[in-house]
Structure 1
Amino acid sequence: MFMYCLESNDSEWAIDTEINFGVISGNETSLFLKCRRTFKKMGENGYSTWGSNNIIDLEMLEHFAVDRKVEFIFEVNIFKMTGFEKEKLTMRKFDESVEEFSDVVLIVEGMKFYQGNDVSAHDCGD
């Protein structure tokens, strides 16, 4: 599992975060990881990432599964953002008008933000 920050590399920027990742099963077993990560400008073609192919392997995942189901929790707390223009942050829509195109719903203090792969792919650019 990975998390990418797809901000452009045109100017200096940084996002100071705390990432909480959890796996919860129906059999009262759970696993939680917490780390502090600063995403930042990474050069011409690089993206700032967090994650690993080995966060949880298949054998461990099967241990957590009940009826082949498992629940993942992925929470990101943003402490500080630098290098972002206010105008840039308000251009996208994350409200109910984009709900049908969303793959993930993030809930922050009761407010829903709809996010989809189409938005992430659009942001990649060249």
Structure 2
Amino acid sequence: MSIETELKFRLIGYNNITKTMKHGYLRKKTIDDTLELEDIEDEGQVLDNLTLEVEVEIIKMTGSKKEKMRTFDESQKDVSDVVLVVQDTQFYVSEMYLASQSTYLKTLFLGGFSESKKSEIALTGIDADEFQHFLEVLYGEFSIDGDFEIFFDDF
């Protein structure tokens, strides 16, 4: 797993002298690798009355995927009537169930569009992992955590 982060350290001394440092890392690093007490002492800070604030921003994570809570793959073919394709990933789903959960999908499936007659419908501009989480929620799984983004304004 790789996590690209940006760290902002803010040191506040007894007399409110502030020193701010900003670092970005692609590998594991500890605070000891970044902050040296000599840096603080050089500023004339008193070490027994020091406040450290750390702000961590995660810029990019790779190699870490959330485990799927429900499958929508070909094993669901016998209980589905439409296949939604998102970024080359096929989702075998129930058209009527999804139509009852989403006005966008209801319009897509039942609104007289050419897609309503197709057994496989491609959806563009959507991330497959996020769509997986979206479907899990619609199918009753608790799939949302702090990393979930709302990606459909129309849904």
TM range (shorter): 0.3 to 0.5
| Higher Rg | 2
TM-score scaled to structure 2, two decimals?
0.36
Select the structure that is richer in strand. Answer: 1
Select the structure that is richer in helix. Answer: 2
TM-score scaled to structure 1, two decimals?
0.43
